Structure 1
Amino acid sequence: MRCLRDGRLTLPRRPQASQGQNAIPLTRGHLRRYDAARMAFLFTMMHGEKMVDCEISSTALDDLDGVKGTWPHQREAQFVRLREVVERVASCVFKSTPAAGRIRIFSKHVRNL
């Protein structure tokens, strides 16, 4: 899987089994909550046995969804609807910066998807 091309994030449509176990380094974890103070949805992913804390900004979620101004009480449903692509973005961000403590997804990561 190629995540960065010309400095921009690119995603394959779906991970391919032939690419091996490292194609998507992270697997699905748990939903946490929408943090209104951070304006980000918090979730986890797994890297082997290790839990990785992740967050995606509300602006990035809206960019993926093609909308603006989603209400805080609608964020969980929005995240669930977009979960597959959010997790692929998180995997690509992790692959490009695996030493980072928390994966933070911003609008710049999803703008051109």
Structure 2
Amino acid sequence: MALTRGAYQSFDDDRGVVRFSMKNAEVEVACAISTSAMDDLEKSSRTKPEQREEQFMRLRDRIEDSANKKFEKNEFEGTPRGIILRSVDFR
């Protein structure tokens, strides 16, 4: 079963990630994408922190597609388990 759109959660400058969620039926799946991956997708230099949410929204379809692919492959990481996207996931 494919994941469906969840919610943008936050930009975590300390970890260098944007946190968001996806849904597996009614279960929320924690997800994150590195800011370097988003910058690589846009072929841009470091985006300002206050622009990260806007950047995520522009790239959302591609990001969620990659999160869904990792979900289908059962590629979870961390505690609690979630999906983490890096630049390599978009090559």
Q: Which runs of 4+ in 1 moved over 6 A?
A: none
1:104 corresponding residue in structure 2: 84
1:87 corresponding residue in structure 2: 64
TM-score, with length taken from structure 1: 0.73
CA root-mean-square deviation:
1.2
Letter in 2 for 1:61: M
Q: Provide Cα deviations, 1:70-92, integer angstroms capped at 9, x if missing partner.
A: 11111000000110110001001
2:22 corresponding residue in structure 1: 45
Q: Judging by fraction of residues, say which structure has more helix.
A: 2
Deviation at 1:98, TM superposition (A): 5.3
Deviation at 1:99, TM superposition (A): 5.5
Larger Rg: 1
How many correspondences in the alignment?
88
Q: Provide Cα deviations, 1:19-75, integer angstroms capped at 9, x if missing partner.
A: xxx3xx110001101000110000000001100000000011111111121111110
Deviates more, 1:54-63 or 1:89-98: 89-98
2:33 corresponding residue in structure 1: 56
Letter in 2 for 1:31: Y
Deviation at 1:105, TM superposition (A): 0.2
Distance in 1 (alpha carbons) for counterparts of 2:76 and 2:17: 21
TM-score, with length taken from structure 2: 0.90
Matched, 1:78 2:55: yes
Write out aligned runs for 1:11-50 (5 A): 22=1, 25-50=2-27
What is the identity percentage for the equivalent residue pairs of Structure 1 and Structure 2?
36
Whether the aligned pair in 1 keeps the contact of 2:76 and 2:84 (CA below 8 Å) is no
Letter in 2 for 1:40: V
